């Protein structure tokens, strides 16, 4: 099979990734599914893995963790293992999704209290194990997702990371019913979270640099779209920071109403400047981080997507052009999400 490998982590303008044309098709281990990859989203985290910003966990790893596949084979016992969230077992020919969270120990204090996203023994698709920049990959059946109907394979792929993380960030922001939400930065994850909030009746204010992104925000139903450092037209009950820019924590906290919460969605954030307790935190405003996601988050979000058709902007690339897709992502050459198709 064809598969990309991170052979020399470094800038994507060099050649950190190599395409191998005749890899062995992987064999599913006990409890695993073999997926024939139908579509794989290109996430910013893949760029971090490829460029070495995330320390390599597996030499020559195949990136890709927004994987829509067809079950091609079952490992021993996988036919009896329930899917994520005790969904019915998968069988050959089913459509299945593989996301960033690949496994946890299920036994630590965090897993036991429903916070498996914090499990110190967790492993990740396309970082600890080979991911979806390939024709085939394996995924533990218990961490594979049932996918909603009404979407193409290309549209489903970005839901599996951008969508799920945006959803968790929205949950962490504890937006009250009918509340006022501020969204800072408006890329793939943000535009999906905005649609969830709007469908729930929120008033959404988008604060972002790009002119095209502001236009998209208004088209999707945002009440206002301004520059990232602007104050929104009204105080916010909650805000989500999607841009990886620590400087924006200050205006976002300042924009919160009493008791409001700012949730920071990124895996990376540049340093936050000093805060003023009075201006940024007093009146019980809160600042929260978001770390990966649980399978329950994924199940809730994919269930929501089944009932509400989300608009997903997709830019398809052939599998052979994965390196170009990553270069374009880094250069900000497109809105929405790049997706590799076999
Ligand atoms: Zn654990
Ligand atoms: Zn991702």
Is the pLDDT at 142 greater than 90? The verdict is yes
What is the predicted pLDDT for the residue at 308?
95
| Pairwise CA distance, residues 321 & 4, whole Å | 10
Asked if pLDDT for residue 334 goes beyond 90, the answer is no
Question: What average pLDDT does this structure show over 34-59?
Answer: 94
Distance 61 CA to ligand 1 centre (A): 23
Centroid of ligand 2 to alpha carbon of 127 (angstroms): 11
> What gap in Å lies between CA 55 and CA 124, rounded to an integer?
13
User: Distance, CA 277 to ligand 2 centroid (Å)?
Assistant: 33
Residues 49 and 63: their CA atoms lie apart, in Å, by 7
Q: How far is the CA of 252 from the centre of ligand 1 (A)?
A: 33
Mean pLDDT of 141-161: 96
188 pLDDT exceeds 90?
A: no
Which ligand lies nearest the alpha carbon of 162?
2
Cα 197 to averaged position of ligand 2 atoms, centre (Å)? 20
For residue 82, pLDDT over 80 is answered with: no
Paired tokens of 65: 């963790």
pLDDT in tens, 254-267: 999 999 999 999 87
Ligand positioned closest to the Cα atom of 46: 2
Query: What would the mean pLDDT of 78-105 be, rounded to a whole number?
Result: 88
Centre of ligand 2 to C-alpha 333, Å, is 18
Query: How far, in Å, from the CA of 245 to the mean position of ligand 2?
Result: 18
Non-local (6+) Cβ contacts of 92 within 8 A are 71, 72, 73, 74
């Amino acid at each position: 099979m064809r598969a990309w490998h991170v052979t020399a982590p470094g800038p994507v303008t060099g050649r950190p990734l190599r395409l191998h044309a005749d890899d062995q098709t992987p064999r599913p281990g006990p409890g695993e599914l073999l997926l024939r990859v139908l579509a794989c989203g290109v996430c910013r985290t893949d760029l971090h893995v490829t460029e070495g910003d995330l320390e390599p966990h597996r030499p020559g790893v195949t990136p890709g963790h927004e994987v829509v596949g067809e079950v091609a084979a079952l490992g021993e016992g996988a036919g009896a293992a329930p899917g994520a969230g005790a969904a019915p077992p998968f069988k050959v020919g089913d459509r299945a999704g593989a996301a960033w969270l690949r496994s946890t120990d299920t036994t630590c204090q965090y897993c036991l209290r429903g916070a498996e996203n914090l499990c110190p023994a967790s492993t990740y698709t396309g970082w600890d194990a080979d991911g979806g920049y390939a024709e085939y990959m394996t995924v533990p059946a218990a961490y594979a997702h049932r996918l909603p109907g009404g979407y193409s394979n290309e549209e489903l792929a970005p839901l599996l990371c951008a969508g799920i993380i945006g959803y968790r960030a929205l949950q962490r922001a504890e937006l009250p019913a009918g509340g006022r939400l501020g969204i800072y930065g408006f890329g793939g994850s943000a535009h999906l979270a905005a649609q969830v909030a709007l469908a729930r009746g929120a008033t959404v204010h988008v604060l972002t640099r790009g002119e095209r992104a502001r236009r998209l925000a208004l088209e999707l139903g945002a009440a206002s779209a301004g520059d990232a450092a602007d104050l929104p037209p009204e105080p916010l009950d909650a805000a989500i920071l999607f841009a990886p820019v620590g400087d924006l924590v200050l205006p976002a906290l300042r924009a919160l109403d009493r008791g409001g919460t700012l949730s920071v969605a990124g895996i990376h954030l540049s340093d936050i400047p000093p805060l003023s307790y009075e201006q940024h935190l007093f009146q019980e405003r809160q600042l929260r981080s978001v770390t990966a996601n649980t399978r329950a988050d994924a199940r809730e979000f994919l269930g929501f997507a089944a009932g509400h058709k989300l608009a997903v902007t997709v830019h398809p690339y052939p599998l052979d052009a994965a390196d170009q897709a990553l270069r374009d992502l880094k250069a900000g050459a497109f809105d929405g999400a790049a997706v590799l198709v076999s």
